[in-house]
Amino acid sequence: MHARHLDPIAAIATAPGRGAVGMVRISGRALEPFVQAFFGRSLTPRHAHYLPFADAQGQPIDQGLALFFPAPHSYTGEDVLELQAHGGPVVLQLLQARCLEVAQDALPRLRLAEPGEFTERAFLNDKVDLAQAEAIADLIDASTEAAARSAGRSLSGAFSQEIHALRDALVHLRMLVEATLDFPEEDIDFLRASDAQGQLIRLQQHLAQVMQRARQGALLRDGITVVIAGQPNAGKSSLLNALAGAELAIVTPIAGTTRDKVQQTIQIKGVPLHVIDTAGLRESNDEVERIGIARAWEEIERADAVLLLHDLTRQHDADYRANDAVITETLQDRLPAGVPVIDVWNKCDAEGEPGALLPSATDHLQLRLSAHTGQGLDALRQQLLTLAGWQPAAEGVHIARARHIAALREVDAHVEQATALLQLPAPALDLLAEELRLAQNALNTITGEFGADDLLGVIFSSFCIGK
């Protein structure tokens, strides 16, 4: 534990701005002398006390609630004092400054907390594991109800329990292999009698289930970025407005109306989709429009999926088809491998008698819709969910992060290698033991049984001050 973790810390623990209630939080070891100096009296643990908060001259800063939580029964596992006052920023700053002033004599080394330091201490004091600590930040940042509920499940320990179950299975297998190494003359018979291969297969099956739920949780947390691209006047801005259910982008019959990207996050069945409307793709002598088109290609290259919008009313126009072909060819050159493209044919309400689409030179999925009437939008939403990898029947999804997915993939690779080794007629038990050890190490990084300090620093630095 670093020396800084021994310092008492203080912070305004509510969001910036005005509100009905605000909080200043202090955490540290042996806060009783500070409490006595601040209020001139002690506080009953875990009881709300309505008290005046006075400055150095005894003049009132505010009146509010003071709550004292002695260690270890607190959020951080240390002594914690929470001062709840009216939520004006000036009031809270005065209250925080008064805490630092009192601490000069009563609580030396009290300092302002760094981002996420309260939760970091909760982790270091075994109040939460690393996955639960991250779930706190994800719960705060959740942009959809489904993401919030999934983060709540992770915070309650559902994800950690899955990881611990996998770890216990790995530990048991390691025990069998390590024991076998001590008695080499009985190695194969001992492993077969213990059904080591069956245990490994069951571990793989459980791991696959955890990985699937984790991928769904990561999708709820991060969503996907969808870029709407196409020629001018194909209806890109109208489609963004239709998907968002609001007039976000200006829509006119004038080609080139959209000069810069317009972005909106929407949710479909709880999955956040970051939809970006871009400038129409064409040759232009207008410098401002050219900048907008360059930015459009930058967004397209960063997309998780692209909606290539076409105008049904112009599908028989030779020049229009030629320009579409150029855009499609450029997409194939500039898009990273594996990024899906959907050909969306818009304005089906204005097409007259529905006819067959002209043959496409690509294997893109083809959809008809009307951004004006909403016809076909539900099919597009469902297709976007499919592209994202969302499975509606998924239950018990817990929030997950990219690092969790990477760690689980590493575990899977080591378990796969261990399975291959065990299937050999004369398995190299030392290599088998090493693969299982590496799998357990990768698994442990998720819950933080051990981990490098720089990993902890990156994780907790993304938290807000006071949390």
313 is in an annotated binding site: no
Tell which residue, 21, 15, 4, has the closest CA to residue 117: 4
Q: Is 27 annotated as a binding residue?
A: no
The verdict on whether residue 448 carries a ligand-binding annotation is: no
Q: Is 256 annotated as a binding residue?
A: yes
The reply, when asked if residue 82 is annotated as ligand binding, is: yes
Residues 6+ apart with CB under 8 A from 113: 9, 10, 11, 27, 465, 466
* Residue 25 assigned ligand-binding role: yes
Check whether 373 is labelled as a binding-site residue. no
Was 252 annotated as part of a binding site? yes
Mention every residue, 6+ apart, whose C-beta is less than 8 A from residue 338: none
Q: Annotation-wise, does 10 bind a ligand?
A: no
237 a known binding residue? yes
277 is in an annotated binding site: yes
Is 127 annotated in a binding site? The answer is yes
Is there a binding annotation on residue 291? no
Query: Would the annotation count 386 as a binding residue?
Result: no
Distance CA(407)–CA(440), nearest Å, equals 10
Within 10 angstroms of residue 118's Cβ, the number of other Cβ atoms is 27
Confirm whether residue 152 is marked as ligand binding.
no
The secondary element (H helix, E strand) that includes residue 382 is: helix 377-388
Amino acid at 186: E
Confirm if 262 and 277 have CB atoms less than 8 A apart.
yes
**Does 328 carry a binding-site annotation?**
no
Closest CA to 267 of 279, 275, 276, 259: 275
Give the whole-angstrom CA distance, residue 146 versus residue 222: 12
Q: Do residues 398 and 217 touch, judged by C-beta distance below 8 A?
A: yes
- Is 144 flagged in the annotation as binding? no
DSSP string, 3-32: GGGGS-EEEE-S-SS-EEEEEEEEEES--H
Annotated binding site for (6S)-5-formyl-5,6,7,8-tetrahydrofolate: 25, 82, 127, 467
Annotated binding site for K(+): 233, 252, 254, 257
Annotated binding site for GTP: 233-238, 252-258, 277-280
Annotated binding site for Mg(2+): 237, 258
Annotated binding site: 25, 82, 127, 233-238, 252-258, 277-280, 467
